[in-house]
Structure 1
Amino acid sequence: MTDDVLLVHGGTPISGEIRVRGAKNLVPKAMVAALLGSAPSRLRNVPDIRDVRVVRGLLQLHGVTVHSGEEPGELVMDPSRVERANVTDIDAHAGSSRIPILLCGPLLHRLGHAFIPGLGGCDIGGRPVDFHFDVLRKFGATIDKREDGQYLTAPQRLRGCKIRLPYPSVGSTEQVLLTAVLAEGVTELSNAAVEPEIEDLICVLQKMGAIISVDTDRTIRVTGVDRLNGYTHRALPDRLEAASWASAALATGGSVYVRGASQREMMTFLNTFRKVGGEFEVDEDGIRFWHPGGPLKAIALETDVHPGFQTDWQQPLVVALTQASGLSIVHETVYESRLGFTSALNQMGGHIQLYRECLGGTPCRFGQRNFLHSAVVSGPTKLEAADLVIPDLRGGFSYLIAALAAQGTSRVHGIDLINRGYENFEEKLVSLGARVERPSAS
């Protein structure tokens, strides 16, 4: 098949301007939150990505009316006629996203039951869904596991509870928030994720009438209410996409102005970008990233939950580190299999060695569990074109960056996976002067 392949003619710096819209890690969750309301919600700055289309389809299957608003990137969602969806129709969405599990709490509140099929998502390490079901049981849900998926019921109103996360998981925190807001009583969540996208979801829920407080020790308290309204909200910009384009500019020796990028949510990335040798300039409309010339610098890097260096920033930046002088050390502490993408970079001429040991000081869950979760990147190395098969969303964009930086023409397979989180990425590449094309069918 050639319809899922992109030819990338590398060796040319990218240069120009692109725009990022709302964050992939917020927008679909805010769409799910609309299910909780008794009136229509209006969400702005929505990107046209696959995860948004998946959730839109799921909402419509459950009787929510969804249509475009007055401005580009605006969705209006009316949940006044929520209904039970056909199991077969829901199952058609299985494997395309993990977001359906977040519909559980809202559907239990609205209908008293929910069905969740098998779940998909990127294969970058353990993302166990069992914890989501454990949380829902604590709220009072009953779960019946069958061959085609999980059937959930709530015979009575869900009740608030105390939950401590073993790790500050974003997905688990979202599950608790979306369930707790209409549960009876108070829910206390400790060791919660506090990413900017979580804060923005809390803002959405507060606009709807929720009562949520966030303490400095990662504790979130939610006082359940009887009813929520709709909301009007403009999603925060996608800091992960913005950083991906920044890394692309650095790896190719180019310059990219990312309109819509916000400094506040990217401060940790910006510090690291500067340490490597990249330059950036912030104005009121966005951030310009560029390679100033001269050698890049090797660094020691550890991923961590917010406010640390985000794991989704790691893969694109590693491509740029192949062009830095010296030995860079990368310690991945969030997803145990996220460094697997580096084998393709070595195939292209990179020098990256993986280790099972923790090459860093950040407490890590993987040190004694035999996962290759640390890397030493030796550079600079000249990258050569190759046939590449995309493993996951961020790894896929990293392969695009590597292909852009490499000499020759690379064939990148599985390219449509990138549509999950990068809006119109092919058009953006072309606007930046990248030479990319779909192969002819002959």
Structure 2
Amino acid sequence: MAKLLTVQGGKPLEGSVHVRGAKNLVPKAMVAALLGSEPSQLRNVPAIKDVEIVTNLLQIHGVKVDADPATGDLTLDPRDSYSAAHSEIDAYAGDSRIPILFCGPLMHQHGEAFIPDLGGCRIGDRPINYHLEVLRNFGAVVDKSPTGIHISAPRGLKGAKLTLPYPSVGATEQVLLTAVLAEGITELENAAVEPEIHDLIAILQQMGAIITVYTDRTIRIEGVDRLSGYRHRAITDRNETASWASAALVTQGDIYVKGAAQRDLMAFLNTYRKIGGEFAVDDDGIRFWHAGHALMPLVLETDVHPGFMTDWQQPLVVALTQAHGVSIVHETVYENRFGFTEALKRMGASIQLHRECLGSSPCRFGQRNFLHSAVISGPVELQGADIDVPDLRGGFSHLIAALAANGTSRVTGIEVINRGYEHFMDKLGDLGADVVMSER
């Protein structure tokens, strides 16, 4: 049965939440365990849907996974892994985009990999051609079929010199997970350098990989013959932290995010303060609250790290509907990320979308007819509405808009939020939100 969330808005969110390991790191770290000849231990793991999906995928490949949900500890033992039947893998078609990252490890271990049709959030093309081209450069043979992709390495995988046309996080992860056991040296130019990438590199280095990161976005990997296991504590989810910070701002609340880390949130925290939010950092986390005066508009442009993350944009757009004046947000990472604003407009938000690049410089979407710039005028009084969640961050954004709105909102598709927010219903309760979940 589908879920329906009924939200009574207009109440500030106040209290504390605990944020654990990053959704953009933990599933990839779990896949990395498949490369090892010994068990690995991963700590600070959140109980989210993506972790469940990767756990199931690992288990059908013979990896033993032991989890302690209370502590967030995972033990992953790949010593008896094997090639899974296509029918078993296909059962996860459409659930996640993580299966594409199994390719390198599975080819190293078993000589082949099968990848079902990939799902994920509807925020743009997010093509896997980067991934497939990367694998071909290592010597893989790619055969596409209506049900998925079969990838093999009849002559083994060999190091390659690669340049990404865009610093894609997923393609960079693909290179790392494939190159560490490939024969020879791999050099990747224009690589992604997000904190989650560095944390994955730290994990692979623990396992025995030799990886060097240069200041010009170049990563050099020297292939080794064998990798062992790892013991690692995942970095905190900076995207969930930023989401709760935006929730505090939008609802005029006060939220302490236990586990939050300042270092990986620098660009967000600067913007948060410019708008009119306040924060205080201590050894255990960060407190976020509305400073009490009128929120300020701004011009914002998303970018790859160390710029302002695209994942931070959607929750913050809700806050900008309450700013006094006109704000401009230029999305340069995903071409269709503003689809979520249609629901905000039904709630009373004044948002206009444009095909032109309204940021400081043209981006790769400027001549491609995508609505990738937003002009937001405020402040407005948001009104409750019926909402269907479109994607992970957009869904959370709709939720905090409903929490700030006058009246009642009915939110469907709420299950999507489980992909990246651990125990979010419990956390809403801890913050005093007036929400009720029911069956449709």
What TM-score do the two structures reach when normalised by structure 2? 0.99
Moved more, 377-386 or 147-156: 147-156
Partner of 2:227: 228
Partner of 1:384: 383
- The alpha carbon displacement at 1:439 in A equals 3.2
Distance 1:21 1:346, change over 3 A: same
Unaligned segments of structure 2, at least 5 residues: none
Query: Alignment partner of 1:100: what SS?
Result: helix
- The alpha carbon displacement at 1:69 in A equals 5.1
Partner of 1:425: 424
CA contact (8 A) 2:3 2:438 kept: no
Distance 1:15 1:71, change over 3 A: closer
Matches within 5 A, 1:141-220: 141-220=140-219
Partner of 1:251: 250
Post-superposition Cα deviations, 1:85-144, rounded to whole Å, max 9, x if no partner, equal 011110011100000000000000000011001000001012111221111111011111
| Alpha-carbon separation, structure 1, partners of 2:134 and 2:409 | 45
Partner of 1:282: 281
Partner of 2:264: 265
What TM-score do the two structures reach when normalised by structure 1? 0.98
CA contact (8 A) 1:302 1:362 kept: no
Partner of 2:310: 311
Partner of 2:397: 398
One-letter code of the match for 1:415? I
- The alpha carbon displacement at 1:361 in A equals 1.4
- The alpha carbon displacement at 1:70 in A equals 9.7
- The alpha carbon displacement at 1:308 in A equals 0.2
One-letter code of the match for 1:144? D
Post-superposition Cα deviations, 1:259-298, rounded to whole Å, max 9, x if no partner, equal 0000000010000000000000000100000002121000
CA contact (8 A) 2:4 2:439 kept: no
- The alpha carbon displacement at 1:363 in A equals 4.0
| Alpha-carbon separation, structure 2, partners of 1:142 and 1:153 | 5
One-letter code of the match for 1:353? Q
- The alpha carbon displacement at 1:4 in A equals 1.8
Partner of 1:6: 5
- The alpha carbon displacement at 1:156 in A equals 2.3
One-letter code of the match for 2:113? A
Aligned residues: 440
| Alpha-carbon separation, structure 2, partners of 1:46 and 1:412 | 28
One-letter code of the match for 1:295? A
| Alpha-carbon separation, structure 1, partners of 2:361 and 2:109 | 42
Query: Alignment partner of 2:375: what SS?
Result: strand
Distance 1:25 1:440, change over 3 A: closer
CA contact (8 A) 1:38 1:79 kept: yes
Post-superposition Cα deviations, 1:169-218, rounded to whole Å, max 9, x if no partner, equal 00000000000000000000000000000000000000000000000000
Query: Alignment partner of 1:341: what SS?
Result: helix
Unaligned segments of structure 1, at least 5 residues: none
Matches within 5 A, 1:96-135: 96-135=95-134
One-letter code of the match for 1:325? H
| Alpha-carbon separation, structure 1, partners of 2:406 and 2:70 | 42
CA RMSD of aligned residues (A): 1.0
Post-superposition Cα deviations, 1:323-353, rounded to whole Å, max 9, x if no partner, equal 0000011000000100111111110011001
CA contact (8 A) 1:37 1:229 kept: yes
One-letter code of the match for 2:399? L
Partner of 1:67: 66
Query: Alignment partner of 1:274: what SS?
Result: helix
- The alpha carbon displacement at 1:157 in A equals 2.2
| Alpha-carbon separation, structure 2, partners of 1:362 and 1:189 | 26
| Alpha-carbon separation, structure 2, partners of 1:386 and 1:337 | 22
CA contact (8 A) 1:158 1:184 kept: yes
| Alpha-carbon separation, structure 1, partners of 2:68 and 2:201 | 23
Partner of 2:290: 291
CA contact (8 A) 2:47 2:69 kept: no
Query: Alignment partner of 1:438: what SS?
Result: strand
Partner of 2:337: 338
One-letter code of the match for 2:264? E
